[in-house]
């Protein structure tokens, strides 16, 4: 193949990106074909998502991956295909999290909360969409109703749904500014027409950290790393990879952080479209993104 000696790393978000339907786990055929092509050419394809492993596994298997996965936006990094890979798990301090969730400005925007640890989940109230995306029903101990007196002090994840009227950007900005010393706050789409979901990870945990680890682990140059996403939780990895691709269905603020903005959405196979385009002329795509980064001041991404 062209540039056979070069290995590329594709880091992919799931919801709103690889998945054309979050509830069913459907993947556009163009995306499936492109990922298969990239793998056949010797490139590395990895998933980094806000989802837990249990609801990522069916997608990982469908894509026939054997690479490192970042779940909970990087709070859980592991390689399901390599028993000798030592997983990284970052726990939360429950008392600090309850302090944040009790903030009046935050509390009034929350419509549902899920707190979980190894093998258990407590969900405030039933929610079909939330349960499908996070695979709560596959958890050994799934409880509806929060019992704060019977929760371990170090859960692995906390997610909360917000109201249809919530200004997601304003809420995320408030959380970052007010509680940035206690946690990392991400927001992402769980499906078309559904309210966004927020998640909280411990300080220093985000998708950018996973991408840095993946580049070293797979011995891939920064310039040869491509990240594709659609949400605010993808913004950190956009700052690390050379080629940062925002989906057509991304928020405008997310698009401004990318070096490539697609017209195609997740439902139109945007991931597959770009992977194929990149592989046809990788040096051209790499150079375009590099130039955009070098002259970032006032310059937005090229729409493709």
User: Which residues participate in catalysis according to the annotation?
Assistant: 13
Task: Give which of 104, 103, 126, 132 is closest to 113, Cα–Cα.
Answer: 126
**d(Cα 79, Cα 81) in Å, to the nearest integer?**
5
For residue 146, what is the enclosing H or E element? none
Q: Is 191 left (phi over 0), alpha (psi -120 to 50) or beta?
A: left
**d(Cα 47, Cα 62) in Å, to the nearest integer?**
12
Task: Give which of 92, 149, 96, 159 is closest to 123, Cα–Cα.
Answer: 159
3-state secondary structure 57-75: HHHHHHCCCCCCEEEHHHC
**d(Cα 68, Cα 79) in Å, to the nearest integer?**
4
Residue pair 44/220 in contact by the 8 Å Cβ criterion:
yes
End-to-end CA distance of the chain: 24
**d(Cα 38, Cα 56) in Å, to the nearest integer?**
20
Coil, helix or strand at residue 225: strand
């Amino acid at each position: 193949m062209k540039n056979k000696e070069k290995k590329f790393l594709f880091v992919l978000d799931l919801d709103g990106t690889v998945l054309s339907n979050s509830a069913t786990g459907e993947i556009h055929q163009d995306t499936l074909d492109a990922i298969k092509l990239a793998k056949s050419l010797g490139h590395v394809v990895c998933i980094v998502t806000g989802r837990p492993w249990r609801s990522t596994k069916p997608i990982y298997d469908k894509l026939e991956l054997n690479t490192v996965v970042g779940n909970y936006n990087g709070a859980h990094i592991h390689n399901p295909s390599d028993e000798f890979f030592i997983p990284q798990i970052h726990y939360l301090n429950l008392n600090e999290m309850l302090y944040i969730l009790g903030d009046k400005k935050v509390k009034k925007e929350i419509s549902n909360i899920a707190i979980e640890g190894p093998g258990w989940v407590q969900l405030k109230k039933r929610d079909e969409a939330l349960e499908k995306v996070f695979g709560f029903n596959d958890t050994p101990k799934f409880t509806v109703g929060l019992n704060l007196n019977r929760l371990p002090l170090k859960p692995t994840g906390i997610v909360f749904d917000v109201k249809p009227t919530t200004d997601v950007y304003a809420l995320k900005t408030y959380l970052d500014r007010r509680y940035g010393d206690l946690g990392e706050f991400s927001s992402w789409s769980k499906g078309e027409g559904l309210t966004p979901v927020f998640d909280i990870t411990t300080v220093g945990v985000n998708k950018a950290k996973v991408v840095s680890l993946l580049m070293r682990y797979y011995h891939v140059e920064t310039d040869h790393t491509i990240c594709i996403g659609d949400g605010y939780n993808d913004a950190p990895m956009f700052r690390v990879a050379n080629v940062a691709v925002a989906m057509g269905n991304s928020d405008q603020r997310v698009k401004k952080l990318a070096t490539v903005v697609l017209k195609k959405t997740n439902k139109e196979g945007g991931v597959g479209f770009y992977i194929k385009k990149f592989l046809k002329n990788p040096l051209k795509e790499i150079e375009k993104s590099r130039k955009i980064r070098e002259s970032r001041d006032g310059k937005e991404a090229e729409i493709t």
